[in-house]
């Protein structure tokens, strides 16, 4: 997935504000799942939500205004109730990693209690691993 950096994404020095990478990760996860036929909104409609339980981010080199970044996303682990995604971002035309991160999502019910991942979701993730 590609993301262009706009002025609104940057700090006063023209560098991407660090917290914006979490938004980019969110978009990339959503698109990664959508490409595999998984619509998060469908699960939300039946009371299953996916909440962020843990995030790790390593910032390697700055991304700047007007850069086009490529985000690679994959599911690297899952348990009965959680999914862990790895994200890596690169500037187009540059092999250096800009940022990489890991995000663990937990499936919960409407009350916020952990819930087993839906079986069809596990099958899709296992098939695409």
| H or E segment to which residue 59 belongs | strand 49-59
Confidence at residue 126, expressed as pLDDT on a 0 to 100 scale: 87
| Homologous superfamily in CATH for domain 2-127 | Hotdog Thioesterase (3.10.129.10)
Q: pLDDT for 61-120, tens place per residue? A: 999 999 999 999 999 999 999 999 999 999 998 888 999 999 999 999 999 999 999 999
Domain boundaries of the chain, sorted by first residue = 2-127
Confidence at residue 15, expressed as pLDDT on a 0 to 100 scale: 97
In whole angstroms, what is the distance from residue 87 CA to residue 24 CA? 10
Question: What global pTM score does this model have?
Answer: 0.92
Structure confidence at residue 122 as a pLDDT band (50, 70, 90)? very high
As a whole number, the mean pLDDT across the chain is 95
Catalytic residue positions? 11
In whole angstroms, what is the distance from residue 102 CA to residue 68 CA? 21
In whole angstroms, what is the distance from residue 37 CA to residue 15 CA? 35
């Amino acid at each position: 997935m590609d993301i262009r950096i706009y002025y609104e994404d940057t700090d006063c020095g023209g560098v991407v504000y660090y917290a914006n990478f979490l938004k980019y990760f969110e978009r990339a996860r959503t698109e990664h799942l959508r490409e595999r036929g998984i619509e998060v909104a469908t699960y939300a409609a039946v009371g299953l939500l996916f909440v962020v339980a843990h995030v790790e981010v390593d910032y390697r080199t700055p991304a700047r205004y007007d850069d086009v970044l490529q985000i690679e996303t994959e599911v690297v682990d899952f348990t009965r109730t959680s999914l862990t995604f790895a994200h890596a971002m690169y500037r187009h035309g540059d092999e250096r990693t800009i940022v990489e991160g890991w995000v663990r999502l937990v499936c919960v019910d409407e009350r916020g209690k952990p819930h087993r991942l839906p079986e069809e979701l596990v099958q899709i993730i296992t098939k695409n691993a």
